[in-house]
Amino acid sequence: MRRVVITGLGMVSPLGCGVDHIWSRIINGESGLGKITQFEASDLACQIAGEIPVGETADGYFNADDHVAAKDRRKLDPFIVYGITAAQQAIEDASWKPEDEESLFRTGVMIGSGIGGLQTIANGAVMIEEKGPRKLSPFFIPSSLINLISGHVSIRYGYKGPNHSVVTACSTGAHAIGDAARLIQMDDADVMVAGGAEAAVCRLGIAGFCASRALSTGYNETPEKGSRPWDKGRDGFVMGEGAGVVVLEELEHAKARGATIYGEVVGYGLSGDAHHITAPPPDGNGGFRAMSAALKRAGINAGDVNYINAHGTSTPLGDEIEFGAVKRLFGNNEDVCMSSTKSAIGHLLGAAGAVEAIFSVKAIKEGVVPPTLNLEDPSDECQGIDLVPLEAQERKIDVALSNSFGFGGTNASLVLKAFR
């Protein structure tokens, strides 16, 4: 089987723009969550989120002008702009800008989103009611479609290999990386630009998740405390936005051009709950089976995993169920630790799995595990595994597993390994 390594990383998140800047802040225990500022939120039950900090690129903030020209941004929902931005960073990081036709044919893109152009769709719906259908922009549809990130990235860089997109709610980013790695393994491509993007922090998005009773509502005055996975005080997730994109590459291809290798994608497991549209089954068997399948594919024993980046959204039900599944699978592994980076940046929905795979690979590369913020008093059911409360820990990480679970009962686990 062809081996797949990660050779480029890119990220936009509530902690900034650029992987190194975000990583230093997350290791430092900083939070990217705050009161919603982009729109009127005072009538919403949840008034907090992780918005993208805007400023100068050189300072680690997001400056859209450095990634997509203003005249083009009018034609793109923000989720596409975030996706292009993260892809641009990852591609530059990997230094992969082929010009010969064969290399372009062998490079593909698979960047997804959980929801897509929600703000654009909401605005368009209001527009045709108020001003009539003739006033709708010709860019309405192409600025909302989820696969248009992959489309724009391929157009910008000329990548003519597989052009695909994943839509599996909060598992999107993990599925995209896993599926793209499979395309390389199966020899459909040598290089894949893969990940997820989301920009659902808008009135319709927040109101929608409020209606399904998924968001935190008790921390509107202390937003940095709102996301608290496994803590007794947790009361729902806090939504974030942004994008995570990686460059995946066939090992020999990467070696031949002397690329920097961050780590290897050694395992990928998928499963379905067949249970409920939003709730996981109480025994967590869907997550358990996804993790087991990923380990089996990797040929790695549960005892050899050093770090788990949990789905850990800070919902009352989900956190305990995931913990239970992890405990069953890794119960004999006394050295494993698990943290949830959603405690710092919130839940990036379709981008979450990709962003968290990047954090996992950084943990491997840097030998530091990011903390679970606000974990002051773990639930009684969540005892016996080091959940890396409050502060980052220096640890040697050889193997990391990253979990993503989505509405509809769709689960994905990635196993990443140090490349030596």
Q: Which phi and psi (to 5°) does residue 417 adopt?
A: -135, 145
Q: Does 139 bind other proteins (CB under 8 A)?
A: yes
Q: Looking at 64-72, 90-98, 346-354, 378-386, which segment touches other proteins (CB under 8 A)?
A: 64-72
Site stretch for other proteins (CB under 8 A), options 42-50, 63-71, 223-231, 396-404? 63-71
Site size with other proteins, rule: CB under 8 A: 11
Q: How far apart are CA 257 and CA 242, in angstroms?
A: 30
Select 138 or 258, whichever has its Cβ closest to other proteins: 138
Shortest reach from residue 138's CB to other proteins, in Å: 4
156, 84 Cβ separation under 8 angstroms: yes
Contacts of 173 by beta carbon, 8 Å cutoff, 6+ apart:
112, 166, 195, 196, 244, 348, 350, 351, 352, 353, 354, 355, 356, 357, 404
CA atoms of 318 and 157, how far apart (whole Å): 40
Residue from the set 34, 53, 60, 142 that interacts with other proteins by CB under 8 A: 142
Q: Please, what is the minimum distance in Å from the beta carbon of residue 174 to other proteins?
A: 34
Nearer to other proteins, 135 or 257 (CB): 135
Q: Which residue lies nearer to other proteins by CB, 105 or 140? A: 140
70 versus 256: smaller Cβ distance to other proteins: 70
CB nearer other proteins, residue 141 or residue 207? 141
Which residues, in sequence order, are CB contacts of 189 under 8 Å at separation 6+?
106, 107, 108, 161, 162, 183
| CA dist., res. 101 & res. 193, Å (int) | 17
Name, in order, each residue with C-beta under 8 angstroms of 325's C-beta and a sequence gap of 6 or more: 283, 284, 285, 287, 288, 291
Site membership for other proteins, residue 138 (CB under 8 A): yes
Rounded Cα gap, residues 333 and 330, in angstroms: 5
Q: Which region among 59-67, 87-95, 131-139, 375-383 touches other proteins (by CB under 8 A)?
A: 131-139
Positions marked active-site: 170
Question: Does 69 interact with other proteins (rule: CB under 8 A)?
Answer: yes
Tokens matching residue 340:
């949830």
Q: Is 71 near other proteins (CB under 8 A)?
A: yes
Question: Which C-beta is closer to other proteins: that of 75 or that of 327?
Answer: 75
Among 1, 70, 274, 277, binds other proteins (CB under 8 A): 70
Q: Map the footprint of other proteins across residues 73-92, applying CB under 8 A.
A: 75
Query: What minimum distance in Å lies between the beta carbon of 88 and other proteins?
Result: 19
User: Rule CB under 8 A: is residue 145 a binding residue for other proteins?
Assistant: no
Tokens of 321: 């169920």
Hunting for tokens 């975030």 — which residue is that?
A: 82
Q: Is residue 327 within a helix (H) or strand (E), and if so which, with residue range?
A: helix 316-330
Sites of contact with other proteins (CB under 8 A): 69-72, 75, 134-135, 137-139, 142
